[in-house]
Amino acid sequence: MTRAATLRVGGLGDHQLSAWPALAPVWAAIVGMSGGWRLLAAAALGAVGVLAMPPVHFVPALIPSLAGFLWLLQGVRGRWTLVATALAFGIGHFTAGLYWVAYALLTRPEEFGWLAPAAPVGLSLILAPFLIVPAAATRLARRGSIGEVIVFAAAWAFAEWLRSWVGTGFPWNLIGTVWTFSPPMLQISAVTGVYGLSLITVLAAAMPAVLGGPCLDRRRAWAAVGLMFALLASCGIGGAVRLAGAGDGDGATVEGVSLRLVQPNISQAIKWRADLVDRHLLDQAELGALDTGTAPTHVVWSEAAAPLLLADDAIRRAAVAERTPVDGLSLIGTLRRTGSADAPEIRNSLIAIDHTGAVVASYDKAHLVPFGEYMPLGRVLGLSGVVGLADLTAGPGVRTLSLPGLPPVSPLICYEVIFPGAVVDRWARPAWLLNITNDGWYGLSAGPYQHLAAAQMRAVEEGLPLVRVANTGISAVVDPYGRVLRSLALGTRGVLDTPLPMALAAAPPFARTGTIPILAIILALIPFGAYVIRRT
């Protein structure tokens, strides 16, 4: 090993050797950054990690992103510098990953177009503070050590769990979803949930950080990196074995059920125009009744497919009923009015209409989108409805619907599907998940792909098939192993006729226990990495 690889940085040891000499100059340059350069590098590294997310799925991008972030943290002196570095990384990461939220404002450019460039940054400012958790946790372990990586990965997974419920919760683009392109890698989520897969992924991607800086034991550093990649490989191999026993995905289906998914591809710019409501309603009804050679038993429309109070409108319901299968149902996303005449409540709902026009069941969205479907503190601040829509009222929570001719189902409207462990009623387990959404707000962007990836994760975690119906796509059928069996592409118009896959005979471990076991493991790894590894 050359003397060029022998480095000294305050607090990291006296002239200790790098495990990989070629990385030593890179490590030294990153650790030595200060001021604005450190913050710019942090933001850039955060953005690089987004390349691993759907739809790109370049998972190796996580290695420079997370290892580089650790190196930046190793060079930090002072708590506020650490906070600033973590925030910069988070702003780069979440702005790049959620750039598409600006598209929603561009659907009404005359009113909100000026806000569009600021929207992704504003959202990232809300999410970035969660990354202070793993950044601060690294101070519990010796800098540059294997223990530091373990603490960092565990604290990252813990921060993802926090992000799932603090405030209203926004568990979008959790690191584990980078693997949705690879069904074998997803299978571990049936045991650990997405948080466990995130933990394993961050461990593997960040562990190469130990190769660049001063190192007490080169063999141990390389062994740690090899062990983490072996852990990833074992997850993939175990997943492949599980899938081999499951067949190719064209297995058992629910007898007597033929679903038709309606994807009208109505532009968000015209979807809410009052003069086009009837045209759009009839167009979707006609798609539901289209002669494709397959007679559906149940027709499913997307979220807000009927952007009006359809349950209160007998004439329009009759138009839908005429095109609803006899002895079947049309499941339609619409608005629904509840409450009293003096205090009406409007809800984002799914209603089931039979061929007589009767509304036989309904579900009200419980997890509303802040600023989109309601204004936080709007009544207190006098800001209710500033986004152009009256505040919606949340439903009571997820529940299982029993519908004629269908197995029990858990309906999920829009981003309700992104919340791990919160998509079914544990006391009345459904046989499938139905996610209706309108991703037309986000155009032809990464957003719909990321949304579908979250839905795939829920299918694996719960051991349930998932049917997804989206206005502009991506409508899809996902089996209980997270595999997309069939789909309609983003930005296309059409219908998808499909059988309904069967649920797994036994609920997987995550569906039975929820997040508590994996959360306990995550929290236990923090003192393990900080103290146990240090002693050994």
Q: pLDDT tens digit string along 22-71? A: 899 999 999 999 999 999 999 999 999 999 999 999 999 999 999 999 99
3-state secondary structure 299-360: EECCCCCECCCHHHCHHHHHHHHCCCCCCCEEEEEEEEEEECCCCEEEEEEEEEECCCCCEE
**Which residue would you say has higher pLDDT here, 188 or 107?**
188
- Please tell me the distance from the alpha carbon of residue 6 to that of residue 491, in angstroms, as a whole number: 55
Note if 215 is an active site residue.
Answer: no
Q: What are residue 94's phi and psi, to 5 degrees?
A: -80, -30
Mean predicted confidence (pLDDT) in 487-492: 98
Active site residue 414: yes
From the options 3.60.110.10, 3.40.50.20, 3.30.540.10, 3.30.1200.10, give the CATH code of 258-499: 3.60.110.10
Give percent above pLDDT 70 in the chain: 93
> Which pLDDT belongs to residue 390?
52
Number of other residues whose CB lies within 10 A of the CB of residue 45: 24
Q: How far apart are the first and last CA of the chain?
A: 25
Query: Which residue out of 148, 160, 235, 303 is catalytically annotated?
Result: 303
Q: How much is the average pLDDT of 506-526?
A: 97
Number of residues assigned to the chain? 536
Q: Where in the chain is the domain with CATH 3.60.110.10?
A: 258-499
The whole-angstrom separation of Cα 305 and Cα 472 is 11
Pick left, alpha or beta for residue 257 (phi over 0 → left; psi -120 to 50 → alpha; otherwise beta).
beta
Q: What's the predicted TM-score (pTM) here?
A: 0.93
pLDDT, average across residues 381-407: 75
Angle between helix axes 146-163 and 62-74 (nearest 10 degrees) is: 110
Beta-ladder partners of 349: 334, 364
* Alpha-carbon gap, residue 524 to 534, rounded angstroms: 15
pLDDT of residue 175 exceeding 50, the answer is yes
Distance CA 37, CA 28 (A): 14
Active site residue 271: no
Distance between CA 199 and CA 260 in Å, rounded? 38
What's the token pair of residue 297?
């038993």
pLDDT, mean of residues 449-453: 98
> Given 235, 373, 414, 462, which residue is catalytic?
414
Task: Name the token pair of 390.
Answer: 């009256």
Averaged pLDDT, 101-123 = 85
pLDDT score recorded for residue 53: 98
Which residue among 160, 235, 271, 365 is the active-site one?
A: 365
> Residue 385: its pLDDT value, please?
41
Percent of the chain with pLDDT over 90: 81
Stretch 207-212: mean pLDDT = 96
